[in-house]
Structure 1
Amino acid sequence: MHAPRPTSDLRCLWPANATLGEGTLWSPRRQALYWVDILGRQLHRYEPASEMRISWHFSEEISALAERANAPGLLVTLRSGFAFFDPDNGTLTPLHDPEPHLPGNRFNDGKCDAQGNFWGGTMDFGCTEPTGKLYRFDAQHRCTLAFDANYAVTNGPTWSLDGRTLFFNETAKKKVHAFDLDPATGALSNQRLFLRLADEDGYPDGMTTDAEGRLWIAHWGGACVSCHDPVTAQELARIQLPTDHVSNCCFGGPELKTLFITTARFELSDAQLAAQPLAGALFAIDLDQPGRAPHLFAG
């Protein structure tokens, strides 16, 4: 499979000092990049054409999002579950909390599949207890436990081009798992190890799929984003970042050839922060191959 190549230098778009940058989402309708600072309880929007930066503050952690197909605004995951948020008027509408019995958990990463269902993973707030699960939330607001992962930290998911393979990260154990997926029912089966990161490469965090089906994986503690063949897991390319904790990535821009990358200051020592002044910034780099537009939430 072709190895994609950068067509620009890496650039810092927003030195936001995010405690935990995450949740990248390109908005084709706004031609803007949404992203979050989970622990800072903020949603950000960056508009490349004008370089406009807008932020919204929440009373709890916000972690992942998707645009709605049939209404304005976003579906978001908060510490307390799923909600609608309209950036234009600031309206927040809680929808469903699947884990009121797990007050030590919070939502982490998530995104929509091609059918318009949102898949969101939960995790232990302290990143130690194996309480993480993966949920599937549909247009009728039905929430299904898709995978009782028992992971301390969940990240992803992303999908193969045909939508029949789901990739999901067991971050604390450095593992990327693959599952067979029935797109019609959401049923997962045949869990298998797709990739285990080497010790020096950090931990697999957020990830996305490009137009050729390659996986792009952010490396927490590894200062990079790597690109992998979706069948063999062979590494095809690597984008180095000037800070250790690289947390999420997605494609955007007019031709979907810009890779947006979030980073974090969380868990860096004072000495590391002094040496990495751009920790917590939003970055971008242009590539010679496009990604895919994000799927919309059907509800």
Structure 2
Amino acid sequence: MTETGSQPAAPEVDISSMRCVWNGQARLGEGVLWSPRRQQVFWVDILSCQIHALHVATGTHHAWRLSEEVSALAEREESSELLIAMRSGLAHWSPDAHTPAPPIWVRPETGRTGNRFNDGACDAKGRFWVGSMDFDCQKATGALYRVTPDGQSARLEDGFPVTNGPVWVDEGCTMLFTDTAGATVFAYPFDPERGTLGPRRVWLQLAPEDGLPDGMTVDAAGRVWLCHWGGGCVTCRDPVSARELARVELPVSQVTRCAFGDDDLRTLYVTTAREGLNEAALAREPMAGGLFAVRVSQAGVAPARMASS
């Protein structure tokens, strides 16, 4: 990443607009995705094997239960189906013709039976990047995979108990990827044409009081919005220095993933979790597991779609 000398300004966050738009007490809310095509916010409850959707204009909520854990979502370029990451692999799934057990399209990872897939996203060329993790968040068996539109997969990184991300900054020339258990976000030189990575460096190491880095997104100014598991917030950070520019406090501690949505891409949607919280913590956090929304001054970036083969 190149230091340009000009630093992004701190965004304005309208904290008064903060609301819980769905208080359904997800065990492990994750994978939030804005669909411009459908004008819906999609997200998942990984441990309940559910996909959720909220139609913004009407407030209509839908939920679908699948045959196994589902963790990440992406739209497809020339199909109304979604690409979904399930425990055992990637599948094509349609909200309109719900199939509880869609056939697995690609199995990027085999032989690691204690793993499941976790966070994922498409790059600007329509390749899908997805991380795996140890189901118990202990063993360093998680990896990062690149899946091309023709279904070819490759392992690019290895050796993580829990993975999250990725996102791309620096006009797509740097990829950020999270080692959640290690409290570290790494930066990799990224070749946008070939989809290859250079040697990694530490972009951010969170202090214990800030929780663990989880999912993230970027805005149109290139700033990174990072969720803090156990830290009860989303922070906005400079894409070069990782310096904190703004902090959005939530009334729950386990903050998992965020994405910009609505027509102007200025609503930040945030998923949360209640898994692992004891009765006392749940009494303090009655909205744990809910989907939150807050308005910000800077538009986000529409999510890239999986390209056609």
Quickly name the TM-score band, shorter chain normalised: over 0.9
- Cα offset for 1:100? 2.4
Asked if structure 1 preserves the Cα contact closer than 8 Å seen for 2:178 and 2:185, the reply is yes
Asked if structure 2 preserves the Cα contact closer than 8 Å seen for 1:147 and 1:188, the reply is no
Partner Cα separation in structure 1 for residue 129 and residue 170 of structure 2: 16
- Cα offset for 1:161? 4.6
Partner Cα separation in structure 1 for residue 287 and residue 21 of structure 2: 10
Asked if structure 2 preserves the Cα contact closer than 8 Å seen for 1:146 and 1:186, the reply is no
Worse overlay, 88-97 or 240-249: 88-97
Runs of 4+ in 1 over 4 A off after TM superposition: none
Name the % identity.
Answer: 50
Asked if structure 1 preserves the Cα contact closer than 8 Å seen for 2:131 and 2:144, the reply is yes
Partner Cα separation in structure 2 for residue 6 and residue 48 of structure 1: 20
Aligned to 2:9: 2
Asked if structure 2 preserves the Cα contact closer than 8 Å seen for 1:110 and 1:120, the reply is yes
Aligned to 2:191: 182
The equivalences for 1:243-262 within 5 A come to: 243-262=252-271
- Cα offset for 1:98? 2.2
Aligned to 1:118: 128
Q: For residues 241-299 of structure 1, what are the alpha-carbon distances to aligned partners after superposition, in whole Å with 9 as ceiling and x for unaligned? A: 10110000000111000000000001111110111100000000001110000001013
Segments of structure 2 that go 5 or more residues without pairing to the other structure are 1-7
Partner Cα separation in structure 1 for residue 80 and residue 252 of structure 2: 35
Partner Cα separation in structure 1 for residue 81 and residue 103 of structure 2: 11
Segments of structure 1 that go 5 or more residues without pairing to the other structure are none
Task: Verify: 1:46 aligned to 2:61, yes or no.
Answer: no
Asked if structure 2 preserves the Cα contact closer than 8 Å seen for 1:204 and 1:218, the reply is yes
Which residue of the other structure, out of 55, 58, 71, is the alignment partner of 1:63?
71
Asked if structure 1 preserves the Cα contact closer than 8 Å seen for 2:170 and 2:239, the reply is no
Structure 1 counterpart of 2:184, one-letter code: K
SS in 2 for 1:273: helix
Asked if structure 1 preserves the Cα contact closer than 8 Å seen for 2:206 and 2:212, the reply is yes
SS in 2 for 1:159: strand
Partner Cα separation in structure 1 for residue 199 and residue 155 of structure 2: 17
Partner Cα separation in structure 1 for residue 193 and residue 51 of structure 2: 32
Which residue of the other structure, out of 99, 107, 124, is the alignment partner of 1:97?
107
Partner Cα separation in structure 1 for residue 258 and residue 133 of structure 2: 19
Task: Verify: 1:154 aligned to 2:158, yes or no.
Answer: no
Partner Cα separation in structure 2 for residue 232 and residue 52 of structure 1: 40
Q: For residues 154-194 of structure 1, what are the alpha-carbon distances to aligned partners after superposition, in whole Å with 9 as ceiling and x for unaligned? A: 00000015111000001011101000011122211120000
Task: Verify: 1:145 aligned to 2:152, yes or no.
Answer: no
Task: Give the alignment's Cα RMSD to 1 decimal.
Answer: 0.9
Aligned to 2:87: 79
Aligned to 2:45: 37
Task: Verify: 1:267 aligned to 2:282, yes or no.
Answer: no
Partner Cα separation in structure 2 for residue 191 and residue 203 of structure 1: 19
